[in-house]
Structures are given as C-alpha cells and as structure tokens.
Amino acid sequence: MASITIRDVRKTYAGGFEAIKGISLDIADGEMVVLVGPSGCGKSTLLRMIAGLEAISSGEIAIDGRVVNALEPSERDIAMVFQNYALYPHMTVRQNMAYGLKNRGMAAAEIERRIAAAAASLEIGSLLERKPRQLSGGQRQRVAMGRAIVREPKAFLFDEPLSNLDAKLRVQMRVEIRKLQRSLSTTSVYVTHDQMEAMTLADRLVVLNGGKIEQVGTPIELYERPATTFVAAFIGSPAMNLIGKDALTADVAGLSLPPDVSTLGVRPEDLKIIGSQKDYPVRLAVEVGAVELVGAESYVHATTASGVEIVFRVAGRSMTAVGSRVDVGAETNAIHLFDAEGRRLEGHGQGAATREV
C-alpha cells in the first residue's frame, strides 16, 4: 500500500504533441481515484506514466514518498489491469497467476497460498487448470484481476478494465472490484468512460480535459457543484441542460440574472412539468420533440421558443405527446450559474436567478 504523489507532470510525445499539460494530484494510501474525460484527454498517458510504461517529460511522480521517475515498471511494485486482459494464451490460469511471482524467485508454497487466496475471493478456484481461450470474457477479466492481486502490489492501475464486457457483467464486476478494493485497501487509479463506474467506484473523481485537470472531488461534489460548464456537461446522464443567457432572456419574460452570468445550467432530473404555479424562478414554455422511454423513466427532448434544445426526465412513461406544449420549471436551488469563461459563479450562484411575475 502506498500514496501516489504527482507533481506538475507533463508529457510531450515525440513529434511535439503535449498530451499532459502540468498535472498535480495527491492520491492517499488506500484511496480509489477514478480518471474520466473525453477520448484523447490523456487518461491512459497519465496512468502509463505512473506505471512507468511512458517516460515523464517533466515534473515528478512519487510512490510512497520515493520519486520513481527513473525506475523501471518492474521496480515500481504496481499492477496494471487492462481491458484486453493480456493473459498468456499458452498458460493455464494458475500458471498465468504464478508467472510473475516465479520470476521474482518466490517460494512455491507462498505462490500457492497467494493463488488460493485470490482464487477464493474472485471465485475462480474451479478454473485454475483451464487456458484463457476456455474462459468467458468475464472469467478472463477475473483472472487478470487475480494476477494483479497475487503480486500484492503497492497500487493497482486500471485502464477501462470492464469495457469489453456486456452490460450485466460490467455491473457485477464493478461491484466486485469495489468490494475487493475496499477489503484489500490497495491504492488504485481507475480510468473509465462509464458514468456509473465513475460515480460508484470513486472515492475521488478527477475530470481531465485536454491534458489538464478540470476538477477533483467526490462524485457527489462534482455532480452537485460542477466547477465549470465542462464538468457540468460531462458528469451526469443525460447531460445537464446549459442555456445561454441571451436565449434564456428571450424565452423567459421578466427574467433578471446577475450581470456576470453567461450560462444557466439545470439537470434533466431537476426540470419538472409545472402547471400554474407562479413560484418557479425559471419557467420555460417548450414544445416536445421526442420521448425516449428507458425503462423506469423517460427522457423528454423539447425545444424552447427561441430554439434551445433541452432534456428533462419524467418517472415512468411520459404522458406528454410529441408536438405538445408544456411549461417546465426548476427550483431555485437546482439552478447552476456560470460566467463567460464557463466557471461556476459561487456566492450568488444558487438563488440568484429571479423572475418578476
């Protein structure tokens, strides 16, 4: 177990492209940090620099207080789990798990003890004599986890480990990885594209954007108080509605917003169809364009008079027909305000939007 300290780390690839533009982050011993961000924002690059698979152009990475910039991957005592498992096809599950330990000269009895313990916690005891090709995708992923666990590394690095699995298996493995990480208390950095994985696995969530950190916080902090429009749009599905002040002023008669407000944000779950209530700070008359029933709820896509497209969520089946007009509104405390640079306006943020009716 170990802390990981990242100090003003940069990465410029051969050819001159700067993929990581100065990142600092302290990961505590036993913590699970999840990296999210759009494709190409540098998640894998950062993970590979921690692992030692990619050289650091400048800055410092320390594991347990020791700077590891010049250490080989094998000297860092870190285990990495990828989406493509990277198991040796000609070896059995047992041999796959034992391989790294044997190379280190570990005693056979200790290797057996570790494999037995990992196999028990991952429920793969009955698969130990099989070859990878005789396993399902989920079973292979378990073996890849097992191979990481038996090393008893200082930290686990995961790069989208579940993205090859079907939806049901992903959920199951997600829960298992969380349980395992909690029980082993091994410091972990986990990269994913999956909102649910990010929200449920992370002690802290890091949103990357173009090689820089956009925001760090607990999942709920990022969800409730996104620091920028980028984070607001990235965390949450369907994404937060972000409406420009000009469009809003055209759509909402008598709306008064503080002068530094440029964008108003409201989550689809915070917009409600309202009747004649007058006490909503923002009320939008919209025309319903499409309704998606996704099981327990529906996503209603609608357009305001000035042409802004919004989404709101309705429990169960939506009773609103395509083409119908409804009024939607949000409570004051559900409104997020951002300035012209896309930064959250604090202090007078929530509750500052007022409408004279």
Ligand X SMILES: Nc1ncnc2c1ncn2[C@@H]1O[C@H](COP(=O)(O)OP(=O)(O)OP(=O)(O)O)[C@@H](O)[C@H]1O
Residue closer to ligand X, measured from CB, 17 or 109: 17
Partner that binds at residue 35, options Mg ion, ligand X, none, CB closer than 5 to 8 Å by kind? none
Binding residue (CB under 6 A) for ligand X from 43, 94, 147, 174: 43
Partner that binds at residue 328, options ligand X, Mg ion, none, CB closer than 5 to 8 Å by kind? none
Based on the shown chain and the rule CB under 6 A, indicate whether residue 41 belongs to the binding site for ligand X: yes
Residue closer to ligand X, measured from CB, 81 or 255: 81
Tell me the window of 12-20, 194-202, 295-303, 315-323 that interacts with ligand X (CB under 6 A).
12-20
Residue closer to Mg ion, measured from CB, 86 or 293: 86
Residue closer to ligand X, measured from CB, 49 or 155: 49
Shortest distance in whole angstroms from residue 44 CB to Mg ion: 3
- Which residues in the 133-152 window bind ligand X by CB under 6 A? none
- Which residues in the 33-72 window bind Mg ion by CB under 5 A? 44
Partner that binds at residue 42, options ligand X, Mg ion, none, CB closer than 5 to 8 Å by kind? ligand X
Shortest distance in whole angstroms from residue 304 CB to Mg ion: 37
Residue closer to Mg ion, measured from CB, 188 or 298: 188
Residue closer to Mg ion, measured from CB, 37 or 342: 37
Q: Quote the distance between the C-alpha of residue 273 and its chain's center.
A: 30
- Where on the chain is the footprint of Mg ion (CB under 5 A)? 44
- Where on the chain is the footprint of ligand X (CB under 6 A)? 13, 15, 17, 19, 37, 39-45
